[in-house]
Structure 1
Amino acid sequence: MSSKLLSNVGEALYGPRWQTELSRRISVSDRTVRRWASGADDVPSGVYYELLGALTERAVELDDVIAEVSAMLKLPAGGEQARSIPVPQIEMRPRRDKESGK
């Protein structure tokens, strides 16, 4: 597995600080994951299966949440329909610090 693919999987599962969380998931040290991510060491082939399992579990979780949100919005069931619905753009304003007033 290339270090880029490992990084993509890690970030998809755990966000930008993925290495420690991924190391816990697959029961290796975070130092080992960092060596794999840097390309210093090759990722053992068995890790592919563990990563696929983690990705599959996350996909199922996301599908369940998509179904719940779709039901709340009274949309047809199924992720494809929900993904094709345009999402309105909402302007987010930064929060003011209560103490400084900024």
Structure 2
Amino acid sequence: MSDRLIARVGRALFGETWMGPLSRETDIRKGTIDDWDKGRAEPGVGVYEHLLEMAEARLALLEQVVTDLRETIARRRA
């Protein structure tokens, strides 16, 4: 399993089968992503910026879900 940043981000956003979904979401060829994962090439800064935006959006969504869950639990316990 790769410990490269691209793989860690891909798994965090899309799970263990992350390359295909990342390719579709970013419109970047899967072969290019595989090259990054294998260390044959490095993503440009723009790719990292796009991934950061995706991760921040996912984080915001998860933070809202956590809030909603806490509120639901508190209401059900009351």
Q: TM range, normalised to the smaller chain?
A: 0.7 to 0.9
Q: Of the two structures, which has the highest relative contact order with CA contacts closer than 8 Å and spacing of 6 or more?
A: 2
What's the CA shift string for 1:11-51, capped at 9, x where partnerless? 11111000111111211111111111111111111101100
Structure 1 runs (4+) deviating above 6 angstroms are none
TM-score normalised by length of structure 1: 0.67
In the aligned structure 1, how far is the partner of 2:30 from the partner of 2:61?
25
**Aligned Cα root-mean-square deviation (Å):** 1.4
Give the total of aligned pairs.
73
Q: Amino acid of the residue matched to residue 25 of structure 1?
A: E
In the aligned structure 2, how far is the partner of 1:54 from the partner of 1:34?
19
Unaligned runs of 5+ in 1: 76-102
TM-score normalised by length of structure 2: 0.86
In the aligned structure 1, how far is the partner of 2:26 from the partner of 2:66?
27
2:10: which partner in 1?
10
Unaligned runs of 5+ in 2: none
Q: Amino acid of the residue matched to residue 63 of structure 2?
A: D
Matches within 5 A, 1:52-71: 52-71=52-71
Q: Indicate the percent of aligned positions where both proteins have the same amino acid.
A: 29
In the aligned structure 1, how far is the partner of 2:25 from the partner of 2:44?
15
Q: Amino acid of the residue matched to residue 6 of structure 2?
A: L
Shift of 1:71: 0.5
